[in-house]
Structure 1
């Protein structure tokens, strides 16, 4: 089992499963083993081109699974068809996405899933670099966090600054703010400045990608 968990191909396979319904079963069954293993050694692996520890990978997958469970429970409680899960596991044509986040490793499974679906994902860790990328080439969509540390300085509203500058340059690229509870607190302001949508849910990220990067 230790050899399996240390194998990057295992984690790529988890990311590419009937996402994430089967991943839920895998994660729940393996979670005790993962935690026991990590008390003995600190394994690292590469997912979506990023070095992450097995614990980081497990926590990232666990957060996304919990998010899915909450979304599915909400849909079932009101008797609506589970369109969210259908959206998640459907394919995508090759499109380009700019993801701006100073800790992209927090979202390795979503990024890996996008790339396996043929979406070209470009990562940026700060606002100025992201703006230069947007000026130099066309992106079909942008995902940004809200607060970032840039050049050693905390910028709690960096995502808002990025949105303002993108819109000031006349770019109408769809922008999703993917942040925590604080992002939701500033949702109205972010949308007023030009954000297409604001969420703290990985499920909503997948739905956003399906809408703007999915099937033509």
Structure 2
């Protein structure tokens, strides 16, 4: 074996050791420091971490959510529909809170949406689903009570009138609270009057609105309490 052959053999052995050792080192670091790394990465996301794709991903999600909220706002027929500019401004304000931590909190969250016409809320649901949320749909108070008896939800969204009960949103809320269910509850109905918002809060709801952007903000505030 020549000296050059010996050098090449040493280099090959070194490369082999490095290829085997580095994964083991990375594995050790991940196992040993996982909690600290988790918090560190979340903090980086809050500080607009660049280079790893986190910021770009959060920005893309934010834009998709905003587009969905604008479409939902303009498409609603309750009361006076906002102009495209007003809807865009409201959606921008609502999605300002969207970042990597928000997305992480929403992922895995499940909401119960109670409405006798679920197709009316398709765009709103799609905006939440962009964040990673999932939904169970119920079209009556009775069905909603059965669903809540079977499982725990992170938030409940309900319309107000469901024939023959013009105040079905409050009927469901009262029934839930009477059996000790304190799941955050949001009313998404046809009115956005201040008196109706106050009535909803007095009844134990997190809030009431007929605006998609306000609904988005209310649901995010509900998810703030998730473990």
Q: TM-score range by the shorter chain?
A: 0.5 to 0.7
Counterpart of 1:70 in structure 2 is 86
Residues 112 and 20 of structure 1, relative CA distance in 2, 3 Å threshold = closer
Instruction: Give the secondary structure class of the aligned counterpart of 1:148.
Output: coil
Return the TM-score normalized by structure 2.
Answer: 0.58
Which of 187, 205, 208 is the aligned partner of 2:215? 205
What CA distance in whole angstroms lies between the structure 2 residues aligned with 1:210 and 1:68? 23
Q: Within 5 A, what are the aligned runs for 1:3-152?
A: 18-19=63-64, 21=66, 60=72, 62-63=74-75, 66=82, 69-70=85-86, 83-87=93-97, 91=103, 92-149=106-163
Q: CA deviation at 1:211?
A: 1.9
Say whether the 8 Å CA contact 2:73–2:213 is kept in structure 1.
Answer: no
Residues 19 and 127 of structure 1, relative CA distance in 2, 3 Å threshold = same
How many residue pairs match? The answer is 158
Return the TM-score normalized by structure 1.
Answer: 0.61
Instruction: Give the secondary structure class of the aligned counterpart of 2:157.
Output: strand
Structure with the larger strand share? 1
Deviation sequence 1:43-81 (CA, Å, 0-9, x none): xxxxxxxxxxxxxxx7x4633694774366589xxxxxx
Which of 186, 199, 202 is the aligned partner of 2:196? 186
Residues 68 and 170 of structure 1, relative CA distance in 2, 3 Å threshold = farther
Residues 186 and 211 of structure 1, relative CA distance in 2, 3 Å threshold = closer
Say whether the 8 Å CA contact 2:192–2:208 is kept in structure 1.
Answer: no
Residues 172 and 68 of structure 1, relative CA distance in 2, 3 Å threshold = farther
| Runs of 5+ consecutive residues of structure 2 not aligned to the other structure | 1-60
Which of 144, 164, 172 is the aligned partner of 2:182? 172
Counterpart of 2:10 in structure 1 is none
Say whether the 8 Å CA contact 1:177–1:197 is kept in structure 2.
Answer: yes
What CA distance in whole angstroms lies between the structure 2 residues aligned with 1:94 and 1:200? 26
Instruction: Give the secondary structure class of the aligned counterpart of 1:177.
Output: strand
Moved more, 135-144 or 63-72: 63-72
What CA distance in whole angstroms lies between the structure 1 residues aligned with 2:192 and 2:87? 20
Structure with the larger helix share? 2
